[in-house]
Amino acid sequence: MTEYQKPYYLLFNSITDALEALGRLDIPAAVRVLEDAQIQAEEIILEQE
């Protein structure tokens, strides 16, 4: 069974960071944060299989 807790928290915290960057109107930083989180979460899921 795949464990979703670690990638969930990773994505949740990254969304929070991206929203803070958007609040500063730093769109490139928000995009980077979300892209990095997506890659990391995918790697975590794939490592579990």
Cα–Cα distances (Å) from 15 to 1, 39, 42, 44, 47, in that order, read: 25, 14, 15, 17, 22
What would the two tokens of residue 33 be? 């944060």
Can you give the pLDDT at residue 1? 63
Q: CA Rg, the chain, in Å?
A: 12
> Mean pLDDT for each consecutive 10-residue tract of the chain (49 residues)?
88 98 98 98 91
Q: How many Å apart are CA 21 and CA 41, to the nearest integer?
A: 20
- So what's the pLDDT on residue 49? 78
Task: State the residue for tokens 């944060």.
Answer: 33
